[in-house]
Structure 1
Amino acid sequence: MKKNKLLLIGWDAADWKIIGPLLAKGQMPNLKKIIGEGVYGNLSTMNPPLSPMLWSTVATGKTPDKHGVLNFIEIAQDLNGVRPVTTSSRKARAIWNILHNKGYKSNVVGWWPSFPAEPINGVVVSDRFQKMNKDPKKKNPIYKGTIHPESIAMDMADLRMRPYEVTGEHILPFFPNATKIDQEKEGSLSTFSKILAENVSVHNAATNLMHSTEWDFMAIYYDLIDHMCHAFMKYHPPKLGAIAQERYELYKDAVVGAYRFQDMMLGRKLQLIDDDTTVMILSDHGFESGNKRIIKMPKYPAAPSLDHRQFGVFVAKGPNIKKNEKIFGLGLIDIAPTVLNHFDLPIGKDMDGKVALDIFKEPTDPTYIESWEKVEGDFGEIDKNAKVDSISEQETMEQLVELGYIDRPDEKIETAMLKVGCDIKHNLARVHLGKKDYDKARDILLQLIKEKEPVNTIPFYMDLLAISLKTEEFDKAEEYLKLLREKDKEFDFTTHFAEAHILVAKGEIEKALALLNKVKKTRPSAEIFFQIGKLHRRNSQFEKAKENYATAIEIEPDRAKYNRAMAEVLLRLNEYEEAAEYALTSIELVKYFPEAHYTLGEALEKMGDLENAKIAYETAKKLKPKRFHRAERALEKIEEKLSEPLNLNEKTLNAYKEDQIVVVSGLPRSGTSLMMQMMDKAGMDILTDGKRKADKSNPKGYYEYEPVMSLHRDNSWLTSANNKTLKIVAPLLKHLSPENRYKIIFMKRDLDEVVKSQRVMTGKDPDTIPVSLYNAYYEQLEQINVWKEAEPGVELIYIDYKDVLEKPEEMAQKVQEFIGLELDTKAMAGCVDTSLYRNRKETIKT
């Protein structure tokens, strides 16, 4: 056998939550052997999690908007109907095309989609090979294009298993109580027979080619686990309340049976390779097996995908693969680049994935070319215009309908084509949404909502609502929410997150909390607890946030965003080691998560591990597709600390930075206008529009700038304040863009005096101080104290209003040192008028 061979095995929907207990019981010995000799970990999926799209991503290393496979079915080439997706749907070259061009031999069996078979150097047994009619009276010919080379088609035909060949001996390991199933009423055993026969057919073809042909690369795809889960997962232990005990007893062993049978097939393949062959096993997504399982699937395009989980599995072993190690952060898009790197071939720069260097003992540095699509030569590709057998397509369509992946196409061809065209566009919009390209997604969706019946526009409005929330266009979000409720009265139940988000945007946080807490009582979920935790985090109620995040993680421990949120709140509670652990867990789940790397950097910095904090910040900066300003500021701060250690309790470097913005802030009536006057006299460039005139409460002027008032909605103008001084009231500080550097002079004043001064200004009784207002201001000051520590681009000093009045020269000097420029401190001190110090707190004599 040749060295450097690679066997790639796809197990659609395989999930660690099922595999883990089976490994512990010794019921998947072949997979356990590979794990012991190699590496294993999660493999993150993509949105939307539709199998033809995902397996095409595995084969190409590109997202669906690039490779072109966007649905289960598509509009036919002659524009006269719809058909299942084919190889012609794929616009990007697959691994086997590239290997063909470089002289390698590949075998591809059952990949979805791979019909018509491509004329590569090797053998392709396409995904139509195993599809056969359940009726024993009907013939099952191998249609043209099913196998390459065609010369072996007749030999391969005998390897297929027919559904009617499945016997009781085949059935009982999956359904020990099969004799109690009423086959007159139930179609379950018929469904099972078809699933089993198809996967045995794939296995027979694969093992035959493994020992009868020479090959360098082999890819085999099985849908056994996925189809068995869609059919029988609702009966899997633990029993769901809505499932009758009788039916539970009949079908509870089916899913485990599928996994064990898959492992048995793996064992046979392992017998057919030597130790020099690298093996990779992966799934395109996981499958819900807990309380989120759906009993009755809604009427929704590709609704079965709602049962899919974010993470699939990845396992690998081979001569250059590490042994018995868990690896982290892999995604579907990383498989093709990793396979190319295994064969010492360059990666296309237009591929979205990266080489999984962590899995290799001795990794080879990747090399790159612009794009494999631009390379001239023979890539073993099909004629995209070749006609496909229509009978084969009809049979395949029927099977997709039976499995629930698609609704039966409308008999009226124009209607069927319209619906499929909309589904494809919608899936493309969802791909853009997953890539955070909100403008492209929105443009497609705005066209789709113009469609009339029979097209269901509700899913399009749902995604527009999601985009509006992501882009903080809350008026639009509210409009879409209203439209959705008008279109579907039952929709009210599923919009609590959106409604809560909109309430928060309006500042009605308590209402949002009440809404989510109400939903929590009737339908608790990890996401509910997470969102409640976010609201408590927003209110600086860190202990309550921690409690809710912990519950979310307990329910769904493998959600990266939950672990990152927990890390962030632990930072605010000064629990730095625990914060680092949760940040690391988040990174282990999703390696390319810049915010998690940033949070890890924060935790390490607080722990005094500046070198590793620097690495974490650098990684965060590198991973962010756009500039990560907060990480850039954090890096600057770390480098300064490394060169000259500072007192970590201080939030000032006393050094001038180019393009810094000087902000005078504080609670209302705390002396901000006086400090702005001082900055003006100091020679600083003041950003003010003079629209608010001086009055009795502020006889020397307010120094305000109108855009500050809407800072929470738009902070894009802040760069125009570079090298200037402006006033921003304390509650708006958190809306400062991390793109800029800030020197904040925060005015302090006794809270009794602040509240009393405000009440005089508004014509209210100054001797009646509302406790709620006092407490709100106290909490605001605490939040600012926490916020300043979390913002690397922010330096902040506290200046006491009373000190300014009593020691103006000393305070002017302190401000000058803080800003880092020569100021006219004499003029600053000279403008202080102590007669304005009204509403001062009386000294209590004891």
Structure 2
Amino acid sequence: MKVMIIGIDGLDNELLIKFEKELPNFRKLREESPYTKLTSVFPPDSPTAWTSIYTGKTPAEHGIVYFKDPFSESRYGDYMSKDISGKTFWDVAGKKGKKTCVLFPHLGYPVWPVNGIMIGRTTEVDIKKFDIQTWPKEISTKYDLSGLKPMTSYPVNIGDIIDPTKEVILNEVELAVQICQDFNWDIYFFYSSSLDNIQHLFWMYNDKEDPFYVEGNPYEDVILDFYKFYDENVIGRFLELIDSDTVLIILSDHGHAMRPVKVVNINEILRKKGFLRTEGGKRSIKNSFIDKTKKSLLSIIDQHRSIGKMASTFLRIFPKGLSIYTKMTPINKESIAYLSDPSGGIKAYSYAGIKINKEIIDDSSYETQRDKIIKILLSIKDPENDDDLVEWAKRREELYNGKYINKYPDVVFKLKDGWGVGTEINEKIFSWSRSHKLHSGNHRGETPVLIVYNKKIKFDLKKNLELMDIYPLIFSFLEME
């Protein structure tokens, strides 16, 4: 058997069900695919998730995972610089003689030698200037590689991104189809990132539950339109190429949902419980001013996309900018514990962690402190109905094990749907996100997509799978150990 894998970043299983009447190709494949509930990794960020798909390893095993510590020197996008070459499913298959064709994989730049073809490109997060590379090099002279630059995440005029994004997708598919037909491959992987960006930007125009949704707005059907576009121009095109000796896998790294608007300020809870201290004296006055300035700046960026675009560009040119922003904090370094989240407090996520300061507590009290923090988190109640606000909280070792487990905060947790993690201190415990309009769509770990299709065989898969299970699944279809 040959294996063709179509990876669509952010493709959401619940939206496929919601839109299925208008998605004939997806509907056909879902009907003929075994039902499997796929779950993403924690956190369900694209670099972390795709690396788990590529390698079959948990984030604690492969190390591409990020939680911002306000006292660290972490830089914008630097956790994606870890080299995964030689460790992916296409590398392993290639070393065993399988011909591979890999197009635009996330984290696939710079390219590396493979047993076949690889085309990699930079992304907005990890570049100052767009670039595209091929292996072998002569591929770049044989095919037209123009028009393949992914669109920016922060367009000034949001509607201006729609048609250019579709053009990029069409260019990707046209090149992918040519190479698929020209090259004799055993394993073929095509990745598209555009849908994820569209859902981030247009979610509040589509979701009637979003407080900023306006009925009849001009972008109300943009997300549906892109699902239809992928159905016809991506899935439809590749369906025409496969035969009965090919297994088609369509998958995503995570699903999508509304980014939380309501937030619970975890650092304020930690302060009130005696785990977090703020700076005193002159530093307190200075940090209070800085903190208020940060809040005002974030609110301004949220309201004015042109300023958001400037901020995004600044971070790409000056990667230390995010570190400087997050380090401007009123938290005293002598605090026992404080919040650690994926964005440094810029965007509201439903998941985060608590970092324990091991420099000021002895080893004998470490587990006791973790127990206390978990108990505090699990005791937080929804102010509207008194329900539990935290879906789960646990030690990081209860989540995963691996050589990079220390990249996770000491305690990790997830809030229930509709709530996000806030970072404000000396403010109300429950408040509202200051940056919802920046990216109103949010990654959802519970609803990625897995479709497995063959014209002759209907496979029997486990009812519940994780992203790490994709790796051995691919090799089983290739009839390889």
Q: Normalising by the residue count of structure 2, what TM-score does the alignment of the two structures yield?
A: 0.56
Does 1:105 find its partner at 2:99?
yes
Contact 2:41 2:49 in 1 (8 A): yes
- Output the CA distance in 2 between the equivalents of 1:270 and 1:195: 22
Distance 1:70 1:200, change over 3 A: farther
- Output the CA distance in 1 between the equivalents of 2:335 and 2:96: 44
The aligned counterpart of 1:18 is 15
Aligned-residue offset at 1:71: 5.1
Q: Please show how residues 834-845 of structure 1 align to structure 2 within 5 Å.
A: none
Query: Over residues 697-736 of structure 1, what are the superposed CA-to-partner deviations in whole Å (9 max), with x where a residue is unaligned?
Result: xxxxxxxxxxxxxxxxxxxxxxxxxxxxxxxxxxxxxxxx
Size of the alignment, in residue pairs?
335
* Matched residue SS, 1:6: strand
Aligned-residue offset at 1:287: 0.9
Give the CA RMSD over aligned residues: 5.2
Query: Over residues 125-165 of structure 1, what are the superposed CA-to-partner deviations in whole Å (9 max), with x where a residue is unaligned?
Result: 1133999x9xxxxxxx984x61111112133335636799x
The aligned counterpart of 1:228 is 198
- Output the CA distance in 1 between the equivalents of 2:55 and 2:445: 26
Q: Aligned AA for 1:38?
A: S
- Output the CA distance in 2 between the equivalents of 1:72 and 1:212: 43
Aligned-residue offset at 1:456: 7.5
* Matched residue SS, 2:212: coil
164, 173, 181: which one aligns with 1:211 = 181
Q: Aligned AA for 1:272?
A: L
Distance 1:298 1:259, change over 3 A: farther
The aligned counterpart of 2:477 is none
Contact 2:3 2:246 in 1 (8 A): yes
Query: Over residues 661-687 of structure 1, what are the superposed CA-to-partner deviations in whole Å (9 max), with x where a residue is unaligned?
Result: xxxxxxxxxxxxxxxxxxxxxxxxxxx
Q: Aligned AA for 2:231?
A: D
The aligned counterpart of 1:272 is 241
* Matched residue SS, 2:118: strand
Contact 1:53 1:64 in 2 (8 A): yes
Contact 1:13 1:225 in 2 (8 A): yes
Does 1:149 find its partner at 2:136?
yes
Contiguous gaps of at least 5 residues in structure 2 = 267-307, 328-333, 393-415, 418-443, 447-461, 468-481
Q: Aligned AA for 2:6?
A: I
The aligned counterpart of 2:147 is 160
Does 1:477 find its partner at 2:378?
no
- Output the CA distance in 1 between the equivalents of 2:310 and 2:376: 32
Aligned-residue offset at 1:204: 2.0
Aligned-residue offset at 1:225: 2.0
- Output the CA distance in 2 between the equivalents of 1:299 and 1:411: 31
* Matched residue SS, 2:117: strand
The aligned counterpart of 1:498 is 376
Query: Over residues 79-99 of structure 1, what are the superposed CA-to-partner deviations in whole Å (9 max), with x where a residue is unaligned?
Result: 9x8766667532761011111
Distance 1:66 1:252, change over 3 A: same
Query: Over residues 278-318 of structure 1, what are the superposed CA-to-partner deviations in whole Å (9 max), with x where a residue is unaligned?
Result: 011111111115xxx44699999xxxxxxxxxxxxxxxxxx
Instruction: Say which structure, 1 or 2, has more relative contact order (CA 8 Å, 6+ apart).
Output: 2
The aligned counterpart of 2:273 is none
Does 1:90 find its partner at 2:60?
no
53, 64, 72: which one aligns with 1:69 = 64
- Output the CA distance in 2 between the equivalents of 1:221 and 1:420: 33
Aligned-residue offset at 1:213: 0.8
Q: Normalising by the residue count of structure 1, what TM-score does the alignment of the two structures yield?
A: 0.34
Aligned-residue offset at 1:53: 1.5
Q: Please show how residues 687-706 of structure 1 align to structure 2 within 5 Å.
A: none
Q: Aligned AA for 1:28?
A: L
Distance 1:448 1:192, change over 3 A: farther
Query: Over residues 454-488 of structure 1, what are the superposed CA-to-partner deviations in whole Å (9 max), with x where a residue is unaligned?
Result: x87999995148x99x966478539xxxxxxxxxx
Distance 1:559 1:157, change over 3 A: closer
Aligned-residue offset at 1:111: 0.8
Contact 1:106 1:218 in 2 (8 A): yes
The aligned counterpart of 1:250 is 218
- Output the CA distance in 2 between the equivalents of 1:197 and 1:30: 21
Aligned-residue offset at 1:7: 0.6
36, 44, 47: which one aligns with 2:42 = 47
Distance 1:108 1:420, change over 3 A: farther
Q: Please show how residues 784-803 of structure 1 align to structure 2 within 5 Å.
A: none
Contiguous gaps of at least 5 residues in structure 1 = 74-78, 134-140, 165-184, 301-400, 423-444, 479-496, 502-514, 532-551, 561-586, 593-846
Distance 1:186 1:516, change over 3 A: same
Q: Please show how residues 374-385 of structure 1 align to structure 2 within 5 Å.
A: none
Aligned-residue offset at 1:260: 1.1
Does 1:9 find its partner at 2:6?
yes
The aligned counterpart of 1:263 is 231
Query: Over residues 536-585 of structure 1, what are the superposed CA-to-partner deviations in whole Å (9 max), with x where a residue is unaligned?
Result: xxxxxxxxxxxxxxxx99xxxx999xxxxxxxxxxxxxxxxxxxxxxxxx
The aligned counterpart of 2:256 is 287
Query: Over residues 735-772 of structure 1, what are the superposed CA-to-partner deviations in whole Å (9 max), with x where a residue is unaligned?
Result: xxxxxxxxxxxxxxxxxxxxxxxxxxxxxxxxxxxxxx
* Matched residue SS, 1:89: coil
- Output the CA distance in 2 between the equivalents of 1:56 and 1:559: 15
The aligned counterpart of 2:354 is 463
- Output the CA distance in 2 between the equivalents of 1:222 and 1:210: 16
Query: Over residues 319-365 of structure 1, what are the superposed CA-to-partner deviations in whole Å (9 max), with x where a residue is unaligned?
Result: xxxxxxxxxxxxxxxxxxxxxxxxxxxxxxxxxxxxxxxxxxxxxxx
- Output the CA distance in 2 between the equivalents of 1:591 and 1:461: 20
Q: Please show how residues 101-500 of structure 1 align to structure 2 within 5 Å.
A: 101-128=95-122, 143=131, 146-158=133-145, 160=147, 187-238=157-208, 240-245=210-215, 248-264=216-232, 265-289=234-258, 293-294=259-260, 408-409=314-315, 415-416=320-321, 463-464=354-355, 473=369, 476-477=372-373, 498=376
Contact 1:130 1:202 in 2 (8 A): no
- Larger strand fraction of residues: 2
The aligned counterpart of 2:384 is 520
Q: Aligned AA for 1:32?
A: R
Q: Aligned AA for 1:277?
A: T
Query: Over residues 405-459 of structure 1, what are the superposed CA-to-partner deviations in whole Å (9 max), with x where a residue is unaligned?
Result: x78439777x45966999xxxxxxxxxxxxxxxxxxxxxx9999799xxx87999
- Larger helix fraction of residues: 1
* Matched residue SS, 2:250: strand
- Output the CA distance in 2 between the equivalents of 1:461 and 1:158: 39
Distance 1:282 1:475, change over 3 A: closer
- Output the CA distance in 1 between the equivalents of 2:211 and 2:322: 40
* Matched residue SS, 2:166: helix
- Output the CA distance in 1 between the equivalents of 2:62 and 2:171: 28
Q: Which has the larger radius of gyration?
A: 1
Aligned-residue offset at 1:36: 2.7
Distance 1:101 1:295, change over 3 A: same
Q: Aligned AA for 1:197?
A: E
- Output the CA distance in 2 between the equivalents of 1:297 and 1:157: 47
Contact 2:40 2:466 in 1 (8 A): no
- Output the CA distance in 1 between the equivalents of 2:445 and 2:90: 34
The aligned counterpart of 1:718 is none
Q: Aligned AA for 2:10?
A: A
- Output the CA distance in 2 between the equivalents of 1:530 and 1:448: 21
Aligned-residue offset at 1:115: 0.7
Contact 1:86 1:115 in 2 (8 A): no
Distance 1:109 1:446, change over 3 A: farther
Contact 1:195 1:227 in 2 (8 A): no
- Output the CA distance in 2 between the equivalents of 1:65 and 1:92: 18
* Matched residue SS, 1:104: coil
* Matched residue SS, 1:43: strand
- Output the CA distance in 1 between the equivalents of 2:104 and 2:322: 27
Query: Over residues 603-628 of structure 1, what are the superposed CA-to-partner deviations in whole Å (9 max), with x where a residue is unaligned?
Result: xxxxxxxxxxxxxxxxxxxxxxxxxx
Contact 2:202 2:223 in 1 (8 A): yes
Aligned-residue offset at 1:202: 2.2
